[in-house]
Amino acid sequence: MPENRKFSVPLEAIDEIVRVSESGITATKMIHTEEPYLEGHYPDFTIYPGVFIMESVNQTVDAYVARVLGADRIADLVAVMSARFTSPVLPGDTLQVSCQVAVQGDDLAVEANCRTAAGAAAARLKLMYRITGGGTR
């Protein structure tokens, strides 16, 4: 990683939007060994924390809302229906976050499948968001 790389606050949990459609979005996040939040998580087996995988999903949903529903709309997480973390995401991995989205009035039902670039299933989440701002769709 370049020495001049700056870490931002809050966490930049996605690096690139790969695909956007009416029914979903895919984004990626490269996990760099030098990222300060990895230090000590865990000392002998460093992994990308599950809560950060959740944040990667949240930021992917935010990008979907801005691009598909409008930049004046905001997605607020209101329910975690299920969250299953199935394999670790390690430094050097690229996390791919694929979200299938169903608009239900002012709500979004999101099913997120997270994988490493090697194809290992890392997490599967079912979430409900409330859309606010900009009127209803």
Give the active site residue among 21, 34, 41, 92. Answer: 41
Q: How far is CA 32 from CA 8, 9, 10, 13, 66, in A?
A: 14, 16, 16, 12, 27
Separation CA 118–CA 102 (nearest Å): 28
- Neighbouring CB atoms inside 10 A of 19's CB total 9
- Cβ–Cβ < 8 Å for 13, 55: yes
- Neighbouring CB atoms inside 10 A of 109's CB total 15
Q: Which residue has the tokens 């930021």?
A: 59
Our answer to whether residue 32 is catalytic in this structure is no
Separation CA 88–CA 55 (nearest Å): 16
- Cβ–Cβ < 8 Å for 18, 31: no
Active site residues: 41
